[in-house]
Amino acid sequence: MEHTVSAYDDDLKAIARMVTEIGGLAERAVGDSVTALTRLDIDLARRVIAGDRELDRLQRDIEDKAILVIARRQPMASDLREIVGAMRIANDIERVGDLAKNIAKRAVAINGVFPHKQLINGVEHLCEIALHQLKMVLDAYASHDDQAAGAVRRRDDEIDALYTSLFRELLTYMMEDPRNLTFCIHLLFCAKNIERIGDHATNIAESVHYVVTGRSYEDERPKADASIASTIAGT
């Protein structure tokens, strides 16, 4: 149902639109950063780095607008959750943008050729899953689909598991030949960034759940990142 004051509806719609917009920008930044990495496309990487400013600006705009609506309309219940949710989600998306920017910076820093093509495939695959998660959760936000958000949250362990196996693989290459170190460490950070993007998608899923239902998940979030337990001796 619409608000008695129609300008209030316009405010809420404007905030939701801005969140969708920043979400789209972040998706593209993540995709482009990994493409820049796999193709060692310095120009594309620089565009991703420059584009992060737009994400930061939008995140600030969303926050300003949200604060203004709180001050002006004293939102209650579902409206309040809508606004708090938008602020939280925009924050997560802004962090996703930072992580994409970091991947792009590493693509610039690697500045050469890959010693092992298959390693890149692993990162690419990880990125595909993370991007899919990001897309699904942004769709769940746009359609207020709590079930879809729950599915995203449950799938995060796939990314974690893949990241763990990539971690082990990179460790093996580093042990084989110290000349792989620089490259492998850059790649490891990229993989970690992507894994973190997956975590932000999970955060967003939790925010969507809160916006839609007014409740927080009570169970522990699924975790399958075993890299913390890995040691050189253990791999």
Name, in order, each residue with C-beta under 8 angstroms of 222's C-beta and a sequence gap of 6 or more: 153, 154, 156, 157, 160
Distance CA 32, CA 26 (A): 10
CB of 139 to another protein, least distance (A): 24
Binding site for another protein (CB under 8 A): 1-5, 8, 73-81, 214-215
CB of 146 to another protein, least distance (A): 14
Distances (CA, A) of 127 to 53, 58, 116, 133: 22, 24, 18, 10
Closest approach of another protein to the CB of residue 172, in Å: 50
- Judged by beta carbon, residue 6 or residue 118, the one nearer another protein is 6
Q: How far apart are CA 85 and CA 82, in angstroms?
A: 5
Nearer to another protein, 141 or 210 (CB): 210
Q: At 34, which amino acid appears?
A: V
CA-based nearest residue to 147, from 158, 136, 134:
136
Nearer to another protein, 70 or 120 (CB): 70
179 secondary structure, DSSP code:
G
In the complex, least distance from residue 147 CB atom to another protein, rounded to whole angstroms: 19
Between residues 118 and 216, which has the closer beta carbon with respect to another protein? 216
